[in-house]
A and B are shown apart, each in its own frame.
Chain A
Amino acid sequence: MIRLENISKRYVMGDVQVAALDGVSLEVDKGEFVVVLGPSGSGKTTLLNIIGALDVPTEGHVQINGGNMTLTNKVNRFKFRRETVSFIFQTFNLFPSLTALENVQFVLDMQPADKTKKEKRNGQANRARAIEVLTDVGLGERVNHFPHELSGGEQQRVAIARALATGNPVLLADEPTGELDFRTGIQILELLKRQAEAGKTVLVVTHNREISRIADRVIELSSGKIVSDGAPRGGKAEIADLQW
Chain B
Amino acid sequence: MNMSFWLRWSWRDLRARWLQVLAISLIIALGTGVFAGLGGQESWRVDSLDTSTERLNMHDFKMELADGSFIDQTDLIAALDGIEGVAALEPRLIVPTLLDASTEDDTVLAQGQLVGVDVSENGPQVDSLYVDQGRIFTSDDAGQNVAMLELQFADINNVEVGTTLRISGDVELETVGIGQSPEYFAVVPPDNSFVFGEANYAVMFVPLSTAQRITDREGLINNVAFILADGADSAAVQAAVEAHMTASFPDTGLDFVTRDDDIGLTMLYSDAKNDQVTWDIVALMFLVGAALGAFNLAGRIVESQRRQIGIGMALGVSRFWIAFRPMLVGVQIAVLGTLLGLLAGIGLSSLFASLFRDILPMPYWETSLYMPGFIQATVLGILLPFAATVLPIWRAVRVSPVDAITTGNLVAKGGGLSWLANHLPLPGKSFMQMPVKNILRSPWRSLLTVLGISMAIILMTAFIGFLDSFVATLDRAEDAYLYENGDRMIVTLDRFYPETNGEIAAIRDLAAEDGSPLFAQLEIGLMLGGRLIDGDEDIDTLIELHDMDQAIWRPKLLAGELPTASDEPGIILSEKAADDLGVAVGDLVTLEHPRREGLLSFRLVQTELPVIGIHNNPVRALSYMDLSATNLVGLNDVTNLLVAKPAEGAQPDTIKLALMNQPGVASVQEIAEISESFEVIMDLFVTILQVVRIIVLFMAFLIAFNTTSINVDERVREISTMFAFGLPVRTVTRMQIFENLIIGVLGTALGLVLGWFALNAMLVARVEDQLAEFKFIVEISPETLIVSMVLGVLVVAITPLLSIRKMTRLNIPDMLRVME
Do B813 and A113 touch (CB < 8 A)?
no
Do A98 and B415 touch (CB < 8 A)?
no
Do B441 and A96 touch (CB < 8 A)?
yes
Residue A206 is within 8 A (CB to CB) of chain B in the complex: no
Q: Which of A45, A55, A78, A89 is in CB contact (< 8 Å) with B728?
A: A78
Residue B725 is within 8 A (CB to CB) of chain A in the complex: yes
Do A98 and B434 touch (CB < 8 A)?
yes
Distance, CA A80 to CA B418, complexed state (A): 33
**A87/B724 contact (C-beta < 8 A), A97-B438, A102-B433 known:** yes
Please, which residues of chain B bring their CB within 8 A of the CB of A147?
Answer: 408-409
Please, which residues of chain A bring their CB within 8 A of the CB of B441?
Answer: 96-97
Interface residues on A, range: 35 or more
Do A93 and B407 touch (CB < 8 A)?
no
Please, which residues of chain A bring their CB within 8 A of the CB of B720?
Answer: 93
Residue A198 is within 8 A (CB to CB) of chain B in the complex: no
Q: Using a CB-CB cutoff of 8 Å, which residues 195-242 of chain B contact chain A? A: none
Closest residue on chain B to residue A49 by CB atoms: B813
Q: Using a CB-CB cutoff of 8 Å, which residues 307-356 of chain B contact chain A? A: none
Closest residue on chain B to residue A77 by CB atoms: B726
Please, which residues of chain A bring their CB within 8 A of the CB of B725?
Answer: 81-82, 86-87, 107, 110, 162, 166
**A45/B813 contact (C-beta < 8 A), A97-B441, A105-B430 known:** yes
Q: Using a CB-CB cutoff of 8 Å, which residues 89-133 of chain A contact chain B? A: 89, 91-99, 102, 105-107, 109-110, 113, 123
Q: Mark B724-736, 1 if CB is under 8 A from A, else 0.
A: 1111110100000
Residue B746 is within 8 A (CB to CB) of chain A in the complex: no
Residue A83 is within 8 A (CB to CB) of chain B in the complex: yes
Q: Mark B412-438, 1 if CB is under 8 A from A, else 0.
A: 111100100010000001110110011
Do A179 and B407 touch (CB < 8 A)?
yes
Residue A70 is within 8 A (CB to CB) of chain B in the complex: no
Give the number of chain B interface residues (Cβ < 8 Å).
38
Q: Which of B406, B431, B717, B812 is in CB contact (< 8 Å) with A148?
A: B406
Closest residue on chain B to residue A89 by CB atoms: B816
Distance, CA A155 to CA B406, complexed state (A): 13
Residue B395 is within 8 A (CB to CB) of chain A in the complex: no
Instruction: Give A158 Cβ to nearest chain B Cβ, in Å.
Output: 10
Residue B139 is within 8 A (CB to CB) of chain A in the complex: no
Distance, CA A176 to CA B720, complexed state (A): 18
Q: Which of B723, B729, B817 is in CB contact (< 8 Å) with A45?
A: B817
Do A148 and B409 touch (CB < 8 A)?
yes
Do A98 and B430 touch (CB < 8 A)?
yes
Distance, CA A78 to CA B729, complexed state (A): 9
Do A54 and B812 touch (CB < 8 A)?
yes
Q: Using a CB-CB cutoff of 8 Å, which residues 172-186 of chain A contact chain B? A: 179
Please, which residues of chain B bring their CB within 8 A of the CB of A49?
Answer: 813
Instruction: Give B396 Cβ to nearest chain A Cβ, in Å.
Output: 18
Do A74 and B407 touch (CB < 8 A)?
no
Please, which residues of chain B bring their CB within 8 A of the CB of A166?
Answer: 725
**A148/B718 contact (C-beta < 8 A), A54-B724, A97-B437, A97-B440 known:** no
Closest residue on chain B to residue A83 by CB atoms: B726
Please, which residues of chain B bring their CB within 8 A of the CB of A52?
Answer: 724
Distance, CA A96 to CA B407, complexed state (A): 11
Residue B721 is within 8 A (CB to CB) of chain A in the complex: yes
Q: Which of B418, B717, B726 is in CB contact (< 8 Å) with A81?
A: B726
Distance, CA A148 to CA B409, complexed state (A): 6
Distance, CA A116 to CA B338, complexed state (A): 58
Please, which residues of chain A bring their CB within 8 A of the CB of B816?
Answer: 54, 89, 93
Residue B808 is within 8 A (CB to CB) of chain A in the complex: yes
Residue B410 is within 8 A (CB to CB) of chain A in the complex: yes
Closest residue on chain A to residue B440 by CB atoms: A97
Do A78 and B726 touch (CB < 8 A)?
yes
Instruction: Give B721 Cβ to nearest chain A Cβ, in Å.
Output: 4
Instruction: Give A59 Cβ to nearest chain B Cβ, in Å.
Output: 17
Please, which residues of chain A bring their CB within 8 A of the CB of B410?
Answer: 96
**A96/B408 contact (C-beta < 8 A), A102-B430, A105-B430 known:** yes
Closest residue on chain A to residue B406 by CB atoms: A148
Closest residue on chain A to residue B419 by CB atoms: A146
Distance, CA A102 to CA B421, complexed state (A): 11
Distance, CA A35 to CA B594, complexed state (A): 108
Closest residue on chain A to residue B819 by CB atoms: A91
Distance, CA A83 to CA B726, complexed state (A): 8
Distance, CA A97 to CA B441, complexed state (A): 6
Most chain-B Cβ atoms within 10 A of its Cβ — which of A83, A109, A149? A109
Q: Which of B414, B422, B726, B812 is in CB contact (< 8 Å) with A79?
A: B726
With A92-B407, A97-B415 already in contact, 14 other A-B pairs whose C-beta atoms are closer than 8 Å:
A55-B812, A78-B726, A78-B728, A89-B724, A92-B408, A93-B724, A95-B721, A96-B409, A106-B430, A109-B430, A123-B429, A148-B409, A148-B412, A179-B407
A-B contact pairs, 24 of them (CB 8 A): A45-B813, A49-B813, A54-B723, A78-B726, A79-B726, A82-B726, A86-B725, A87-B724, A89-B816, A91-B408, A93-B720, A97-B440, A98-B437, A99-B422, A102-B433, A106-B434, A110-B726, A110-B727, A123-B429, A147-B409, A148-B414, A149-B415, A162-B725, A166-B725
Query: Nearest 9 A-B pairs (CB), nearest first?
Result: A82-B726, A81-B726, A97-B441, A97-B437, A148-B409, A109-B429, A93-B721, A106-B430, A109-B430
Q: Give residues in A with beta carbon < 8 Å to B.
A: 45-46, 49, 52, 54-55, 74, 78-83, 86-87, 89, 91-99, 102, 105-107, 109-110, 113, 123, 144, 146-149, 152, 155, 162, 166, 179
Q: Give residues in B with beta carbon < 8 Å to A.
A: 406-410, 412-415, 418, 422, 429-431, 433-434, 437-438, 440-441, 717-718, 720-721, 723-729, 731, 808, 812-813, 816-817, 819
